[in-house]
Chains A and B, each alone.
Chain A
Amino acid sequence: MNIYVILKRTFDTEEKIAIENGKISEDGVEFIINPYDEYAVEEAIKLRDEHGGEVTVVTVGEEESDKQLRTALAMGADKAVLIDDEDVEDGDQFSTAKILAAYFEDKEVDIILGGNVAIDGASGQVGPRLAELLDIPHVTTITKLEIDGMDVKIERDVEGDVEVIETSLPVLVTAQQGLNEPRYPSLPGIMKAKKKPLEELEIDDLDLDEDEVEGKTRTLEVYLPPEKQAGKVLEGELDDQVKELVSLLRSEAKVI
């Protein structure tokens, strides 16, 4: 099987956000594979181990994303591709999907896996957009995946309910929490990853002009929400505290 994973480098979930010169500061920030993409990597490796073939992990992003690609290789992916989008001005999800579609144009694809959302921009657009551009079906927020020949059986999370879906290859799926438990890279895995192929491409290599991939949206401003002030910790006998809380929620906060 030709198995592809699209992944993104993101801030670690425990990072605080600071803004410098109107942009999110990356100073001293730890980066990780977007957690939802990590499920996709794990699932891809399991698929390969069961059905044979090859797992290629692809990212569009900064040069430094090679570290996250190496992590995916250390988990067990076979090949990695980094498409540098530094030259793209005002790139958005349209741009990323368009770049990925150009990359996939001459590839034989059985399945593409990605996360259902990235924890930074959180638009959740790139997967479905890419599927549309490649004219293949997509299934989002999957929690179970079974492939038998060309037949694909999927369970997906729909706001807490489970939908059982049937489709066929080729397909693009996006992972939801619960799909699997991503493995940690083993030491031999990390050693092997250093020798696995990591191809670096630029927009030009995909026969794309910069203006073809210019975004359809533009960010005007990034800002932090007002800091939440610590409120009132109640005191006294517990029964009185409970009474006071209920009364405050009704009369002061007016939420009940």
Chain B
Amino acid sequence: MAKKVLVLGEVRDGELRNVSYEAVAAAREIAEGGEIVSVLCGESVSGLADNLIHYGADRVLVVEDEKLETYTTDGYAQALLQVIDQENPEGIVFGHTAMGKDLSPRLAAKLGSGLVSDVTGIENTGGNLIYTRPIYSGKAFEKKIITDGISFVTIRPNNIAALEKDESRSGDVTNVDVSIMDLRTIVKEIVRKTTDGVDLSEAKIIVAGGRGVKSAEGFGPLEELAEVLGAAVGASRGACDAEYCDYGLQIGQTGKVVTPDLYIACGISGAIQHLAGMSNSKIIVAINKDPEANIFNIADYGIVGDLFEVVPKLTEEFKKVLV
């Protein structure tokens, strides 16, 4: 049965996040031939609307208000509730990002709906939409259905492929006026700590360090390799606990769960808690001095050696072949 499905387009640094295009593809699956309506919220975001159409949305609703310039739960919740009320969708898809995680449960609670979060796959079996999601940080998976209310779904970045961009697609872009009342939380300041803009959860390549990096400075060679590859840098809990790096970089059952195309583990032994956060990466490379390290049991390729010797050589080799 064809359904109308909304997709929240998420803007960061003036651009749509890749996960928003993936969300459009997910919405296509859920809509079963129905209409995909993307929603863009912000202060001046209408210029991005066509991108969503090129990636598969049928039309775009633009909600522009100065109170939506910075994301707040209340501001976005009020805007989306008014859009939902106007459109009566049967489903709504978000990226499983800081914003999606913060907003979607609040809206689902307001509307008494089921929400399946952190979805990595969607299949349609005889008209039943079945959502796959990792549990226990990827040590296991579950398949779920939504039984009541508007179907709320958040999708994990990097798992559901976006559709091919098609610049010949066209669709309506409409402004929607909403009234945003008082915001109970106010964002006073945003302190940028991420420098290169490659977010761990969306990165295609991750270079991660463990206790083997030995110090904060020890991350230097990893950062150089990451720069050559356009990768994000991550860390194990061991490296974070030893204060070699910020907790924001931690990958594992506590910390971020990532599924990049390539994960290069440097000086990481491979504790269960770390493997839970990265073992579903497509290709894993392990570099470790200890040939018995557990990480080699799940790595596709391994080099036994000192990371301070291996990583700079690897950087040089990539530099040669990637020019």
Check B303 against A158 for contact (C-beta < 8 Å): no
Chain A: minimal CB distance from B195 (Å)? 9
Q: How many residues of A contact B (CB 8 A)?
A: 79
**Helix, strand, loop or mixed for chain A's interface?**
mixed
Check B136 against A17 for contact (C-beta < 8 Å): yes
Q: A231: which of B97, B143, B188, B299 is its contact (CB, 8 Å)?
A: B299
Q: A17: which of B116, B139, B144, B301 is its contact (CB, 8 Å)?
A: B139
Which chain A positions have C-beta within 8 A of B247? 177-178
* A219 vs B144: C-alpha distance when bound (angstroms): 4
Which one of B59-67, B199-207, B209-217 contacts A? B199-207
Q: A93: which of B115, B140, B194, B322 is its contact (CB, 8 Å)?
A: B115
Is residue A216 contacting chain B, with contact meaning CB distance below 8 A? yes
Which chain B positions have C-beta within 8 A of A139? 73, 185
Which chain A positions have C-beta within 8 A of B138? 225
- Could you give, for residues 239-256 of chain B, a 1 whenever the CB lies within 8 Å of some chain A CB and a 0 otherwise? 000000011111011110
* A129 vs B110: C-alpha distance when bound (angstroms): 8
Which chain A positions have C-beta within 8 A of B146? 216-217
Q: A13-B273, A177-B247 given as contacts; is B302 within 8 A of A233 (CB)?
A: yes
Q: A125: which of B73, B108, B144 is its contact (CB, 8 Å)?
A: B108
Is residue B118 contacting chain A, with contact meaning CB distance below 8 A? yes
Chain B: minimal CB distance from A217 (Å)? 4
Which one of B28-36, B37-45, B276-284 contacts A? B276-284
Which chain A positions have C-beta within 8 A of B130? 220
Is residue A165 contacting chain B, with contact meaning CB distance below 8 A? yes
Which one of B1-9, B169-177, B305-313 contacts A? B305-313
Which chain A positions have C-beta within 8 A of B289? none
Check A162 against B193 for contact (C-beta < 8 Å): yes
* A241 vs B118: C-alpha distance when bound (angstroms): 37
Check B186 against A165 for contact (C-beta < 8 Å): yes
Q: A219-B144, A231-B302, A255-B282 given as contacts; is B318 within 8 A of A129 (CB)?
A: no
**Helix, strand, loop or mixed for chain B's interface?**
mixed
* A35 vs B137: C-alpha distance when bound (angstroms): 13
* A121 to B, closest residue via Cβ: B135
* A160 vs B203: C-alpha distance when bound (angstroms): 14
Q: B142: which of A94, A160, A167, A222 is its contact (CB, 8 Å)?
A: A222
* A45 vs B141: C-alpha distance when bound (angstroms): 35
Q: A132: which of B109, B135, B143, B192 is its contact (CB, 8 Å)?
A: B109
* A170 vs B299: C-alpha distance when bound (angstroms): 48
Is residue B285 contacting chain A, with contact meaning CB distance below 8 A? yes
* A232 to B, closest residue via Cβ: B301
Is residue B181 contacting chain A, with contact meaning CB distance below 8 A? no
Count chain B CB atoms within 10 A of each CB in A19, A122, A139 and give the residue with the most: A122
Check B296 against A177 for contact (C-beta < 8 Å): no
* B275 to A, closest residue via Cβ: A228
Check A159 against B201 for contact (C-beta < 8 Å): yes
Check B114 against A167 for contact (C-beta < 8 Å): no
Docked complex: A104-139 residues within 8 A CB-CB of B? 119-133, 137-139
* A234 vs B285: C-alpha distance when bound (angstroms): 11
Q: A35-B254, A245-B301 given as contacts; is B187 within 8 A of A163 (CB)?
A: yes
Which chain A positions have C-beta within 8 A of B300? 231-232, 253
Which chain B positions have C-beta within 8 A of A24? 135-136, 140
Which chain B positions have C-beta within 8 A of A13? 252-254, 272-273, 276
Check B140 against A119 for contact (C-beta < 8 Å): no
Q: A132-B110, A159-B201 given as contacts; is B144 within 8 A of A119 (CB)?
A: no
Q: A230: which of B114, B148, B262, B298 is its contact (CB, 8 Å)?
A: B298
* A162 to B, closest residue via Cβ: B191
Check A248 against B301 for contact (C-beta < 8 Å): yes
Which chain A positions have C-beta within 8 A of B86? none
Check A167 against B254 for contact (C-beta < 8 Å): no
- Could you give, for residues 204-245 of chain B, a 1 whenever the CB lies within 8 Å of some chain A CB and a 0 otherwise? 010000000000000000000000010000000000000000
Is residue A246 contacting chain B, with contact meaning CB distance below 8 A? yes
Check A249 against B317 for contact (C-beta < 8 Å): no
Check B189 against A129 for contact (C-beta < 8 Å): no
Which chain B positions have C-beta within 8 A of A238? 303, 305, 309-310, 313
Q: B199: which of A90, A131, A159, A228 is its contact (CB, 8 Å)?
A: A159
Which chain A positions have C-beta within 8 A of B229? 256
* A241 vs B301: C-alpha distance when bound (angstroms): 10
Check B136 against A11 for contact (C-beta < 8 Å): yes
Check B98 against A159 for contact (C-beta < 8 Å): yes
Check B140 against A216 for contact (C-beta < 8 Å): no
Check B253 against A255 for contact (C-beta < 8 Å): no
A-B contacts, 28 of them at CB < 8 A, read: A17-B139, A94-B114, A122-B135, A122-B137, A123-B105, A123-B117, A124-B101, A128-B106, A129-B105, A130-B109, A138-B73, A139-B73, A141-B102, A160-B194, A162-B190, A163-B191, A164-B190, A168-B184, A217-B146, A221-B143, A223-B143, A231-B300, A233-B296, A245-B285, A246-B314, A248-B301, A249-B283, A249-B301
4 tightest Cβ-Cβ pairs between the two chains A and B: A216-B114, A231-B300, A129-B109, A137-B184
Interface residues of B (CB under 8 A from A): 73-74, 97-98, 101-106, 108-110, 112-118, 130, 134-149, 184-194, 199-201, 205, 229, 246-250, 252-255, 257, 261-262, 271-273, 276, 279-280, 282-285, 291, 296-305, 309-310, 313-314, 317-318, 321-322
